[in-house]
A and B are shown apart, each in its own frame.
Chain A
């Protein structure tokens, strides 16, 4: 009886003291300044890639343009890729490496096709080696929707002085195709963009988007203002699309650029225009006899809703989209007649003068 009573109470005392011990022990651990080694996949990949990300500081002065960005080291010769929508001034551009060292950077070139900019620092001034990243060159998709990603960059310029850049975590939300890209403001890059929910803010632009096996898949773009939804979207330029540009500048390969004379096109479709601020939907008012529109079979009161993959929501948009085409080109026209949705091929003619 005595023993029975004693044992549980002893157990209670013992466990209480053990609990106190454990707590002090944990408390000590929590305040240990010894850095813990990276263990999980996310930790490992961030640990490995942080040395490849730099902070870029440009000129200050204009409040409307960010003077701070992030950059990715793309060559051992000191080439650094960043976004061109950041105010950088020749002679005043500084790059802060992972180790906190500050280097003067030369602005090599802006590329309006991609909206990116290449910087170069003197590799001999760097202690140790630079850690460049390079887009994965294997076949197969670069990324897929739902893929877990890590985004690295100097979010809101939080990393001051020698502080390390921020890492954010998320998934690939989707792919913004060319047609959608048209409905976003401020995108120079013409291809598909990677949409992600990993945090991307001013300062983070020019940083990198990586998969958990350390593949560099994207260059953080500006937050995009979508005309489609009137919301802000985090996006990145797929890294593989930047290869021609990088190869040209780093390895001296020359890109052949085709220049074409822009000729306005003519369809013979006259849209129903209405006075007012907003442009009305693209209803056909009349179709000129013998014109490409007439040949395609369009009639008054048809509603044009799509040209190829571009959504047409107004008369103005119809005109704007056609500016992308050349006379002689054929486009797939989707239109609504009554309660039916029909398709037609429209061969664009040259505008008569």
Chain B
């Protein structure tokens, strides 16, 4: 027995005194360099330069008349949404001007080059909506070989900060996308851009910081993202695209630019949204879905209790009223208000949503299906931050 004890002590001491660093080469990290170069070589052929010319150079925050430059594009403007009626107790706030470019105050966007990704061999190119903030009259794409082509503007998704343009081409090398479910937090993420120079893309290195950010729309990365690589490919070590670098933030709109080079960046995932990309190819401008309900946050569940339904909202038209409790969304049991918002936040305008609503205590729940509207401009500009508090009371488990 005493021998055993000695052995055990010796083992324990041996295992504990071994420094953790032993057996690990600190220079291992530098092996990243060849891996990075390989990934870059793989991805460089489908990373392109985007240039825009002309357009309304309106900068947010300036109240003066828009300074028009160049011929205006004959582009259909999205219908202006009606202002949302405000509850009486809410203070009147100055209304934001509709259809202003979604740049942030404090950051003066210049109409410089940005980056894009070739989506298919026949010339579909994915760009950042940031690139189109000026509503340009001309968009030109320069391919990695140096050839410049005229691009036609197609659809966009304002909630994901991406847009599509089309050039006339065939047999282009195109990107391979990784499904976000295949992404692991902590894996390498290299952000490529083609804003500076044409020979090779610029590169910033980092890791995937989080998955399913922006309500399941984007990855969070810590590789630097800035106007120098917005629209660029965020690739893995094999040169496959994890996402598109775009300015995003929970504060809604095109916010996020103010976070440039901060170590907080977003890459919109693409492999999980083929139907959205198809709609964008049809030229559709997509927004976050809007149901038009206000919730009673003091109601801790189960279900989400409605405290108000703005007139003209989808919910009001569907007959939802103050005091109704939403029990299920597409069959998923709603835990509480924030959970309900979480479930709806990933939906787009035009999406059908099945709701199960308890109108009155004791009565059986009513099932109904509604089609979400596009989030009105006022709501978008207000930011999602107001709708969804950063922290909310969790229901106490019994």
Number of residues of chain B lying within 8 A (CB) of chain A: 59
Contacts of A30 in B (CB 8 A): none
Contacts of A309 in B (CB 8 A): 198
Choose from B27, B53, B228 the contact partner of A231 (Cβ within 8 Å): B228
Contacts of A19 in B (CB 8 A): 16
Q: Is B8 engaged at the interface, CB distance under 8 Å to the other chain?
A: yes
Q: Is B261 engaged at the interface, CB distance under 8 Å to the other chain?
A: yes
Q: Is A322 engaged at the interface, CB distance under 8 Å to the other chain?
A: no
Contacts of A41 in B (CB 8 A): 27, 30
Bound state CA distance, A15 and B196, in angstroms? 58
Q: Is A39 engaged at the interface, CB distance under 8 Å to the other chain?
A: yes
B69 engages A230 (CB within 8 Å)? no
Q: Is A174 engaged at the interface, CB distance under 8 Å to the other chain?
A: yes
Q: Is A329 engaged at the interface, CB distance under 8 Å to the other chain?
A: no
B49-77 interface code vs A (CB 8 A; 1 in, 0 out)? 00101100100000000011111000000
A25 engages B69 (CB within 8 Å)? no
Q: Is B320 engaged at the interface, CB distance under 8 Å to the other chain?
A: no
Contacts of A339 in B (CB 8 A): 150, 152, 168
Bound state CA distance, A203 and B284, in angstroms? 51
B13 engages A18 (CB within 8 Å)? yes
Q: Quick one: closest A residue to B2, CB to CB?
A: A10
Bound state CA distance, A340 and B149, in angstroms? 7
Instruction: Give min CB distance, A27 to chain B, whole Å.
Output: 14
Contacts of B197 in A (CB 8 A): 174-177, 179-180, 192
Bound state CA distance, A303 and B13, in angstroms? 77
Bound state CA distance, A18 and B9, in angstroms? 8
B202 engages A174 (CB within 8 Å)? yes
Instruction: Give min CB distance, B34 to chain A, whole Å.
Output: 9
Bound state CA distance, A340 and B168, in angstroms? 10
Asked whether A280 and B54 contact (CB < 8 A) given A197-B224, A231-B261, A306-B148, the answer is yes
Q: Is B273 engaged at the interface, CB distance under 8 Å to the other chain?
A: no
Instruction: Give min CB distance, A14 to chain B, whole Å.
Output: 4
Q: How many A-B residue pairs have CB under 8 A?
A: 169
Bound state CA distance, A126 and B200, in angstroms? 44
Q: Is B220 engaged at the interface, CB distance under 8 Å to the other chain?
A: no
Contacts of B371 in A (CB 8 A): none
Contacts of B363 in A (CB 8 A): none
Q: Is B201 engaged at the interface, CB distance under 8 Å to the other chain?
A: yes
B368-397 interface code vs A (CB 8 A; 1 in, 0 out)? 000000000000000000000000000000
Bound state CA distance, A146 and B41, in angstroms? 11
B8 engages A14 (CB within 8 Å)? yes
Instruction: Give min CB distance, A16 to chain B, whole Å.
Output: 9
A261-291 interface code vs B (CB 8 A; 1 in, 0 out)? 0000000000000101111110100000000
A230 engages B107 (CB within 8 Å)? yes
Interface segment, one of A82-90, A95-103, A221-229: A221-229
| Most chain A CB neighbours (cut-off 10 Å) among B37, B196, B198, B205 | B196
Bound state CA distance, A269 and B263, in angstroms? 47
Contacts of B113 in A (CB 8 A): 228, 311
Q: Is A212 engaged at the interface, CB distance under 8 Å to the other chain?
A: yes
Instruction: Give min CB distance, A234 to chain B, whole Å.
Output: 10
Contacts of B285 in A (CB 8 A): none
A313 engages B9 (CB within 8 Å)? no
Contacts of B57 in A (CB 8 A): 278
Contacts of A231 in B (CB 8 A): 226-228, 260-261
Bound state CA distance, A16 and B36, in angstroms? 44
Q: Is B334 engaged at the interface, CB distance under 8 Å to the other chain?
A: no
Q: Is B181 engaged at the interface, CB distance under 8 Å to the other chain?
A: no
B69 engages A305 (CB within 8 Å)? no
Contacts of B1 in A (CB 8 A): 3, 6-7
Contacts of B112 in A (CB 8 A): 183, 226-230
Contacts of B33 in A (CB 8 A): 146-148, 171
Contacts of B32 in A (CB 8 A): 148
A274 engages B69 (CB within 8 Å)? yes
Q: Is B4 engaged at the interface, CB distance under 8 Å to the other chain?
A: yes
Q: Quick one: closest B residue to A279, CB to CB?
A: B69
Q: Is A34 engaged at the interface, CB distance under 8 Å to the other chain?
A: no
Contacts of B227 in A (CB 8 A): 228-231
B27 engages A303 (CB within 8 Å)? no
Q: Is A64 engaged at the interface, CB distance under 8 Å to the other chain?
A: no
